[in-house]
Structure 1
């Protein structure tokens, strides 16, 4: 019997919606109706409902009676715990690479880091963050072969990615970031597993420390914001759900 390689419509809808949420094309706090999403992704309402239910289980959406689903606000209070789990997985991966060097992986990491340098020069923080995510996914490539750690890692990184897009790093912070990457790659190439682990962990935790600091500053400016949650004015370049739909319909 020949197995079908057709991707279920519910999974395609899930991937499309999740990607839009993670990239902030669909903004935090937005309400989603299955009929609107069905039109957007080009699927019937049944697979879309299945996709929305899956996204609710994963924590991206919350069900609101008689209103449909709402995209969860970014809870900055959760980020330290999320980042700690990410840092632990990445530190373990860096340790393994230091003990068992892989020239191909090091070359990929170095190439991605140089692309990030170009992103700094072109003042494109969104592209910088995207490339940084790819850098760390390559670093964790070994663990990603295991469904549990790989799937959990992807979910955690996507949660952090959304917060980082809300508060993109400055040019100076981006420069410091790529320099830390260079030190991490060098420590792994030299086989210094202890340094690689420490550099990897401190590098990741520095990101969430910055976000937490900015969140506190935001609360000081807006005392009405819910504890742990803050809606940061997004850059005008980001697309709304309506604009995403219009873009899909353009020839």
Structure 2
């Protein structure tokens, strides 16, 4: 397990440390910098980060609640493998939430939301054409979050975030494929056009179609990388 010092990761001692460690570790798990089945030592993490063990423990508890780490009494804590059943459950829950969000957004989209979505789509297109998944992933997140924020329901996005961790690891594995980035951008464009057209049925259908994309790759990825899938 390789971690830079806390100062190099932007951990602010004036802000709640536990929340910052949670964000850091979650990002590393979702990007597979911390690999499935890798051991996570509370003591080692606190030493490497130069912080006490309490915020590390708090972060690991939150990650366990999201099924991103497994805690085994007497054995330790490990990054959870990617479990197909949990990915399918996360996809189901996310689709239900975001389809409703897209429908609500299309009923009365604000000019601000449309401008933000349009700007993000342009940046996504650039990243997709350049084949830069590291640039694309945060833009993808921002696009989906913008829709929730655009209907004044930021808690909807926080709830979506809490259930989609297992999905995100599968998404990360598929992103290096440039045609896949271009396909996702096309699907985002269709969602945008439906919302722009004030068409709730079309927006909901476009969002459902988009979020089912992960189902097309999960079994293929599991066959290619059995060591990280349960």
Query: Which TM-score band (shorter chain)?
Result: 0.7 to 0.9
* Distance in 2 separating the partners of 1:51 and 1:173: 32
Structure-1 separation of matches of 2:169 and 2:16: 26
Q: Give TM-score scaled by structure 2 length.
A: 0.83
Q: Is the 8 A contact 1:32 1:70 kept in 2?
A: yes
Q: Which residue of structure 2 lines up, in the alignment, with residue 249 of structure 1?
A: none
CA–CA distance in structure 1, aligned partners of residues 222 and 167 of structure 2 = 17
For 1:97, the equivalent position in structure 2 comes to: 105
1:18 correspondence with 2:17: no
Distance 1:7 1:20 in 2: 20
Name 2:174's counterpart in structure 1.
167
Tell me, in whole angstroms, the C-alpha distance in 2 between the residues paired with 1:166 and 1:35. 30
Cα separation, partners in 2 of 1:188 and 1:146, compared to 1, 3 Å: closer
CA distance in 1 between counterparts of 2:185 and 2:15 reads 37
For the residues of structure 1 that align with 2:89 and 2:152, how far apart are their CA atoms? 20
Q: Are 1:73 and 2:66 matched, yes or no?
A: no
User: How many angstroms does 1:104 deviate by?
Assistant: 0.9
Runs of 4+ in structure 1 displaced over 4 angstroms? none
* Aligned counterpart in structure 2 of residue 140 of structure 1, from 127, 142, 148: 148
Which runs of structure 2 are paired with 1:109-148 in the superposition (5 Å)? 109-142=117-150, 145=153, 147=155
> Residue 152 of structure 1: CA displacement?
2.1
Name the SS for the 1:106 alignment partner.
helix
Please state if 1:86 is matched with 2:94. Answer: yes
Contact in 2 for aligned 1:31/1:67 (Cα 8 Å): no
The total of aligned residue pairs comes to 217
Is the 2:41–2:76 contact (alpha carbons within 8 Å) kept by the matching residues of 1? yes
CA distance in 2, matches of 1:143, 1:89: 13
Partners of 2:180 and 2:20 in 1: CA distance = 36
CA distance in 1, matches of 2:152, 2:208: 18
Q: Does 1:182 align with 2:181?
A: no
Contact 1:218–1:230, Cα closer than 8 Å, also in 2: no
Query: What 5-or-longer segments of structure 1 have no aligned partner?
Result: 1-5, 232-251
Whose radius of gyration is greater, 1 or 2? Answer: 1
TM-score, normalised to structure 1's length? 0.76
1:218 Cα deviation (Å)?
3.2
Task: Give me the whole-angstrom Cα distance separating, in 1, the residues matched to 2:199 and 2:58.
Answer: 47
What RMSD, in angstroms, separates the aligned Cα atoms of the two structures?
2.4
CA–CA distance in structure 2, aligned partners of residues 99 and 46 of structure 1: 46
Which stretches in structure 2 are left out of the alignment for 5+ residues?
1-13
- 8 Å Cα contact 2:125/2:182 also seen in 1: yes
* In 1, Cα distance between equivalents of 2:121 and 2:65: 34
C-alpha change, 1:173 and 1:64, in structure 2 (3 Å) is same
- The CA deviation at 1:33 is 0.8
Give per-residue Cα distances to partners, 1:160-209, cap 9 Å, x unaligned: 2122112325222222221222222111111111111111111111x222
How far apart, CA to CA, are the structure 2 residues paired with 1:64 and 1:16? 22
Aligned to 2:149, the other structure's residue is in SS state coil
